[in-house]
Structure formats: structure tokens, C-alpha cells
Amino acid sequence: MPGMIAFGRRWGIASDDLVFSGSFELFVRVLWWIGTLALYTLHKGKFDCSGGRVLHSYLVVLLVLLAFIILSLCAIVYVSAQGTITNPGPRRSIPVLVYVRAMLYVPELIWAILGAIWVSDDSRGCDTLAVYIIWILLLSTGVGVLFVFDPLGSRLPGPPSQEQLGVRDLESSEGSQLLSTARSVAVRVWESRLRLLCCCLPQDESHRAAFSSIAQLVSGFFSDTDLVPSDIAVGLALLHQEQDKKEQCRDPDEVLPHSPSSPIVSTGAEDLEAELEKAAHCMQFAIAAYGWPMYVYSNPLTGACKLSGDCCKTQSAEYDIVGGDNMGCHFSSILHSTGLQYRDFIYVSFHNQIYEIPFFVALDHKREAVLVAIRGTLSLRDLLTDLSADCENLPVEGVSGTCYAHKGMSQAAGYIYKKLLNDGILNQAFTIAPEYKLVITGHSLGGGTASLLAILLRSSFPSLQCYAFSPPGGLMSKALAEYSKDFVVSVVLGKDLVPRLSYPNMEDLKRRILKMVSNCNKPKYRILLQGCWYELFGGDPDDFPTEMDRREEELSQPLLGEETLLIRGSSSYHSLASEDSPVHCAHLPLYLPGRILHITEDGPSRRCVRYRAEWSSETAFRSVLISPRMIADHMPDAVLRSLHSMTQDRPFNLCPSSLSNSHLNVI
């Protein structure tokens, strides 16, 4: 940190990132040198093959060339390991060493070309392994350069001589112009990356608009910092251990005495038990909406066999399937997952476009409900819907306060809303079962869309209920979140990342990463090694010295390079000075929907993992928790397993402390 300046541009690595890559190449080069020396010694004076004299000369020059390369790599590794992340002074000679190492590629490339010519013309009977190895290493180096190439690293126009420190005021016209230019270039680069990633999708107007919106969001996130990927990895490793230390020291979280917005007519434990039963039942439909991929994933030994007999069969006119399931495998998996019959399905859609996600409508006779299940993220189009995170107005009759929501999910909810009402799907369902109530469910993207759909349908169906599993944290405004507490239940497992994802939370995470990195006085390679050990094998969090021996006001200096555009007015610049510095974010705050049912591990037992559930508030999800479980806890099968564990295996999952405190609404 910052990105290394070499060959007139900034690269995606810092001067202290060459320890591991350099050590690996050094190891390979030393082995190669030893092997070449052994080959030369074995055949010394006995190069009897055709072209043996050429091979003799080739090996001698190669040994000398490898010796110089090994020496340069030793110097690079040693110097790169010096200093700390924010003290690059001891590594100021790294660019020179990189130039020396790059110059050695020239004779190596020439020698590789000559070796290739010799192999093709006059190498019969000779050992040519050394010639092939050099090409493998050169190609590997080329791939590595592509990985660390930063399209945004080209030099900006140089500052006037009186501004050699590189720090320019945001309010100056020159600084504003350079900032605008840099951001425009960043947006264009990210748009190109998205188009390349989604090259299989049609490049129509809706997709281009989504690419532009997402590019602006992503490019602006780290536009006021100069971080390389390894800096972020170091910050996450330190932050994870810091959070674990705080968790070990803090008192148990305070839990709510009763379900938010629910009148106290029963004990908290009874309320939780009822909601857990309903949630476990609805989660089966939410996971079924993913179709055959999730079914096979959840049943790796038997799933494919069970579906193989049903796929490719045509079930004529018994159900209405729209788009994307020509083989019938999706619908067959839904039948297996839910246990429903063909006649129970009113409408099934696997049509998938940006802002248009698959869903199905079925009659749930067990719970006497017309159930709408919406699929979560399973395609690139779904991912674009997820990342369209701008705010969009969502006016709702009877709701006081500003009403806005996540753009992508709001449009997806609007699409399903029109299908349900304009196409008469719900009217058909309630004609068959007029006494049933409406229940909407979904997981992840489906959970967020289900919550917004429930808000849109609330005025027409006052008794509807919605169960949103692992919905995104940046979903709806405070007014809509309060309004939805009467009919929406959000279920969150453990340290799931997605319910904590919102722009303010990500800004807070960036600020904390910057502070952890700026205050750490250990070399980067040591932090990464110890962090990997901690993630893989656990143990006590390392007590890294995180306070540097300098004044607090000196910590407010931006963590940017001498030749980088610095922004004094940026949020990251100001937030380094204090842990409590506010995050200045242009994005409106968004919240989780409804009441929040938080399920956490209560410690392992001899038979299985025990879980506890409690009503929580949105304040518990205002920061991102770094953990190996942050992705695993989001998986739908993990959520379903925890709910089944608490409802079906309750004797093993009720701990004495929970029983004795049932009035606190904890199971």
C-alpha cells in the first residue's frame, strides 16, 4: 500500500506483495538451476547427440543466466519483506530491483527463442527438457503480469512543481477536474468488465442501463483510496480477529422482551415456536424455487437419480409452466421438495431476465395458504438485479414517511405484482380456495423481492404473511421497514453477510479496514500467514500491536501514494482520525424488512450443533461481521437445516439457559 509505481503506471500490487510470488519463483528457479547443473554435470564431455555442442553452450549460458535471476529474486524477496504496510521507506529500492529483474527477461527470452530454433532443427537424441521449462516459466510470468495489470493505473497529468507532495485539495479546480476524469475512466473500465463478464447476455437497453448503474456504484466505492487486493485481505484478517476478541469479552446481547409490533398475548417462547414452525415450512418452498440445481446440491447421492426418471416427461395441461424448463427437471425437483401434487400448482414461471425472476404459485393445503415462492440468485441476470442497488421510489398508500427501496428488487417485485394481478393468477387461486390466506416467501434475492411484493399486495390482501429468508440488508427505507413489521418476518442465520450488506455498512467496513491497516505495524506477509493459520486452524486471536508510535493527528494522513490523486474532502480521509467518525455517504440508508428472527449457534453438543433463536432489531445488522461462516450461513440448505434442527430435533437444541429464560423470547 499504495499500489507500486513502475514503468510509468500504477500496478495492482504493492511493494510488499512480492514476498510470496518472489519466494515461489525463487523456489522454482533454484530447483531448475540444480536440475540444469545436474544435467550438465552428467553429460559433461559426453554430449554425443546431434547438436551436442550447441546443447553444451546452451546449458552453460542458462546456468549463468539463472544464477543472476536467483540473485535478483533474493534481493526482491528480502527488500519486499522490510518495513510495514504504511511504512514503505525500507522498500524504496523495489522499483529498481523490478527493473533489473525485467531486464533479465530479455536475454532469457532470446535464449528461449534460440533454444526453440535448435530443438526444431538439430536436437535429435538430446535432452531438451531445459528448453521447454524456460517457455513454461515465461508464459507463467506473462499470465501473472495480466493479473496485476491495473487498467486504471495509467499516469494522470503531472501536478505543478509546487505540489510535489501529491496532495491536492478537493475544492481546487484542478483537483476536481482530475477527480472527475479518474472517476469517468473508472466507470468506463468497470462497464467494459461487466460487458465482458456478461458477454452471453443480450446487450439491449435494459442491460446497458444496469451495467452503467453497477459500474458507477463499484467504481465509486474505493475511488478515494489507493488499496490493492492484498491490503483488503490484510484488513479483513485483522478485523476478523479484532471482532473475535471483542465477542469473547462482551456481555451477551440484549434480546427483545417480545416480538416487535406484536401484542403480548402469549409468552415469548410460544410466539417464537409458532414462527419457527411456519418459517421451517415456508423455507421448503423457498428452497424448492431454486429448481433442480439446489435439489441435486442438497441431495448429492440420490438427487440426480430421483430426477432422472421424471425429466423429459411431458405433463400435458395439468400445470402452466412458462419459460426455461423444457426438460421438466425444475418442476420435477419442486414436486419432490414440496411434496405437492401437479394439481396443486396454479402457475409456474422459470422465465428469467434482468428484473424478472422465476416464481411459482401453489396451493398449500397443509397450512391452508395460497403460497407464492420466489427464486433467489441463480444466474448472471439475477446477479445484475442484485447489484442494481440504487434507491427507487416505492409509494405505498397509508405509509407515512419517505418510501423507497432497492431498485433491482423493487422492479422485480413490480414484475411479479403485475403478473399475479393482471394475469388473474391470484384470482384463479382464490377461486379454487377462497378461504385460504396469502403467504409469500423467498430466499436472498427472492426474500427481498418477496418482502417488497408483500408491501405492494398488503392493501388488497390484509391478512397476507411473508417469510423472507436471508434478505439483503439494503432493501427498504425506514418507513417501509416499520410498516412491514406487521406482516413480514425476516429469518437470518448466524453471521450471514447478505443481511448486513448495505452501502453505509460497506462504507463502514472500508473505514475499518483503512484504520486497521493504518494502525498495524507488522509486515504484510506475517499478517497474511498468521491470518491464514487463524482461519484454517482457529485458536486465540493474535494480539497484533495496532497502535503505532506516533501522534493521533498523524494517523489522519490519507493512506495514498506520493504520486496518486489524494482527496482531502473524502470520507475515507477524515474517517481515519477517529473510530467514531461519521460516514459521509450520498446513498440513502436502507434496512431489513419486518421483524427479524436471528438464529445463532449455541455451541456444539455431542450429537449436533445446537441453535438458539431470538427476536432482534435492525441495529444488530449495522456492521459486517468477518467470519468463515459469512457465506456458508447464507446458503439456503444451511438455513433450512437450522430451522429443522430447532423444530424437529428440539430436545437436542434447547439448552438449560434458554429454558430458564424463555420469557426473554430466546429458544
CB-CB contact of 110 with 96 (8 Å)? no
Asked if omega into 2 is within 30° of 0 (cis), the reply is yes
What single-letter amino acid sits at 664? L
* Strand ranges inside 375-421, DSSP E: 391-393, 404-406
Phi, psi (rounded to 5 degrees) for 457:
-90, -5
Phi, psi (rounded to 5 degrees) for 346:
-90, -40
User: Which of the following is catalytic: 16, 496, 602, 633?
Assistant: 496
All three cell numbers of 15: 511493494
**Cα-Cα end-to-end distance for the chain:** 46
* Strand ranges inside 92-227, DSSP E: 167-168
CB-CB contact of 274 with 465 (8 Å)? no
Bridge partners, 345 (sequence order): 362
DSSP 591: B
Mapping DSSP to helix (H, G, I), strand (E, B) and coil, where does residue 225 land?
A: coil
**Within 10 A of 285 (CB to CB), how many other CB atoms are there?**
26
Mapping DSSP to helix (H, G, I), strand (E, B) and coil, where does residue 666 land?
A: strand
CB-CB contact of 213 with 390 (8 Å)? yes
Phi, psi (rounded to 5 degrees) for 372:
-110, 115
User: Which of the following is catalytic: 337, 388, 444, 572?
Assistant: 444
Separation between Cα atoms, residue 119 and residue 75, nearest integer Å: 33
All three cell numbers of 540: 486465540
Mapping DSSP to helix (H, G, I), strand (E, B) and coil, where does residue 623 land?
A: coil
Could you identify the residue written with the cell 503506471? 9
Separation between Cα atoms, residue 456 and residue 394, nearest integer Å: 9
Q: How many residues does the chain have?
A: 667
Burial track 187-206 (b if 16+ CB lie within 10 A, e otherwise): bebbbebbeeebeebeeeee
- Is 444 marked active-site? yes
* Best CA proximity match to 345, nearest among 358, 329, 330, 364: 364
- Is 496 marked active-site? yes
* Best CA proximity match to 354, nearest among 385, 375, 376: 385
**Within 10 A of 362 (CB to CB), how many other CB atoms are there?**
24
Question: Interhelix angle for 52-80 vs 129-148, to 10°?
Answer: 30
CA-to-CA separations, 12 to 167, 233, 388, 421, in angstroms, rounded? 21, 13, 26, 51
Q: What Rg value do the Cα atoms of the chain yield, rounded?
A: 30
CB-CB contact of 590 with 502 (8 Å)? yes
**Catalytic center residues:** 444, 496
